[in-house]
Chains A and B, each alone.
Chain A
Amino acid sequence: MKNVAIPPAVTRLIETFSELPGIGPKTASRLTFYHLRGKSELALSLAKELQNLVEKTRFCSICYNVTEEDPCPICSDESRDKKVLCVVAEPLDLLALERTEQYTGSYHVLHGALAPLEGIFAEDLRIKELEARLRKGGVEEVILATNPTSEGDYTAAYLLTRLKPLGVRITRLGRGLPMGGDLEYADAVTLTRALEARQEL
């Protein structure tokens, strides 16, 4: 039902907000009215930042990470090891790995994981581009850092069949018990992997 008491600009913003993931009509109204009552600088800077996001960001032509300049800062950084390539599913996974400050190699972002039931197939991911990158040479090791879930494992298994013939060393991120976790609640697969990869102190 259309409410004539609310100006169209407000209704339109509510509708736009509610198209965002995880935001329902009530949250959308709350956000809209917050901007209506709150400081106008915040609303304007939000608008500007969103515009910047759309206009300035793009995918890096080498690793397909989100970037403002092409190639991205990681790909153009001379000090990073180009012989090691870490394959991640999403740009957020790349950020998580960067936060460790332990990894100094380069990346490749697939933008998703294989899920045939949901209609995501190999051609929907940046796999062809990864293959082309490896064919060019220079990469000695590929680290498959997809999620340790069924979907991530399935994607890694597929990548293995595709990349094996290219003759590079292929590794998978280690798997074990999470920091702060509880042994009692660990599943058999995780515990088995943790036992296999135990380390001498």
Chain B
Amino acid sequence: MAQQKLYQVEGVVLGRRNYGEADRVIILLTAGGRLALLAKGIRKPHSRKAGHLELFSRSKVLISRVTNFWDIISQAEVLTTRPGIQADFQRGTYARYVGELALRFFEQEANETLYTLVDSTLTLLENAEKPERVVCWYEQHLLALAGFRPEWRHCVGFREGQPCQEELHPRPGDQRPYGSAPEQGGALCPDCLAAGQPSGLVSRLSPSALSWLQAFQEREYSQLAEFDFPSKTATELRRVMKRYISYHLEWQPRTLRALNMHCFSILRSSPGE
């Protein structure tokens, strides 16, 4: 069957890079998969498409199919602009992280759930009071979607050759820490953590951090928004999830570096404020 020469899609712009004199390659995430498209003349001030294809905006685009070349964007109309992300460095960095994870964990396959997840996360990021909580929630759902769902509810440790599988119910008063084991893909109960071989990959997990991980995985974001999310827990989760994600991705997400640097500069400047 001959393919149509013109087609229309709706998607979120997750990446762009300059191409040639005044063109740009746009990476568009759509429900039907990821597309790399060429937007001609978009860097000129007169471009009719320029404002409609900014990073993280959700746009409707009309594309001409070109054989043996990039498909070219002929028209674009922005549906959601997300200026809140553009104007704030922290939210902007988190949004880049959201996009990077989606592009790294997934290839070009069609995945409507991924599209909805990324789009709704970006909307939440723009408005949520605590963007770091949105990112933690997103990480758990993205990992599940990509087939790397961590097991936070049952212990994944082995004792005397037998799987432990103890159901974990962390309480704030728990005296002993739990553990996170990226290699086994989940949480360790205090006994398995204590009994296990010390490994560079296993990290300690406070009861509060573990219960947040369970909640992020099992609940919708709206159900969590009212609870207090201490910055100490946020920092701990950042560290634990960084290790988990880079282990399974076999690659260190780049945007995380900007994130860490930013947190560092906030720490540095906070005493004076």
Contact = CB atoms under 8 A, between A and B. Distances in A.
Interface of A: 22, 114, 116-119, 121-122, 149-151, 153-154, 157-158, 160-162, 165, 178, 180-182, 185-190
B89 A154 contact: yes
- Most chain B CB within 10 A, of A118, A178, A180, A189, is at A189
Contact of B88 (A114, A157, A187): A157
A180 B51 contact: no
B78 interface: yes
B205 to A, nearest CB: 27
B81 A158 contact: no
Given A116-B258, A121-B258, A154-B92, A161 B265 contact: yes
Contacts of A180: 46
Contact of B89 (A121, A158, A182): A158
Interface string B260-273: 01100110010011
Nearest to A152: B86
B255 A154 contact: no
A189 B45 contact: no
B15 to A, nearest CB: 6
B191 interface: no
A186 B265 contact: no
Contacts of B236: none
B67 to A, nearest CB: 19
Contact of B48 (A121, A157, A182, A188): A182
Given A118-B17, A181-B46, A165 B87 contact: no
Given A158-B262, A161-B265, A165-B272, 5 more contacts: A114-B258, A154-B92, A158-B89, A187-B51, A189-B51
A178 B81 contact: no
A188 B257 contact: no
B119 interface: no
B86 A154 contact: yes
B99 A153 contact: no
A151 B16 CA distance: 10
Nearest to A149: B54
B10 interface: no
B100 to A, nearest CB: 6
A157 B89 contact: yes
Interface of B: 15-17, 20-21, 45-46, 48, 50-52, 54-56, 78, 81, 83, 86-89, 92-93, 96, 99-100, 254-255, 257-258, 261-262, 265-266, 269, 272-273
The 8 closest A-B pairs by CB, nearest first: A187-B51, A150-B55, A185-B48, A157-B89, A116-B258, A178-B45, A116-B255, A153-B86
A157 B99 contact: no
Nearest to B44: A178
A160 B211 CA distance: 36
B83 A189 contact: yes
30 contacts: A116-B254, A117-B15, A117-B99, A117-B254, A118-B17, A119-B254, A121-B257, A121-B261, A149-B54, A150-B54, A150-B55, A150-B56, A151-B55, A153-B87, A154-B92, A157-B86, A157-B88, A157-B92, A158-B89, A160-B89, A161-B266, A165-B269, A165-B272, A181-B45, A181-B46, A186-B51, A187-B50, A187-B51, A188-B78, A189-B83
A116 B257 contact: yes
A22 to B, nearest CB: 6
A116 B96 contact: yes
Contact of A22 (B20, B54, B78, B269): B20
Instruction: Point out which of A149, A150, A161 has the most chain B C-beta atoms below 10 A from its C-beta.
Output: A150
A12 B46 CA distance: 40
A38 B150 CA distance: 68
A158 B83 CA distance: 15
Nearest to A150: B55
Contacts of B269: 161, 165
Nearest to A190: B51
Nearest to B17: A118
Contacts of B17: 118
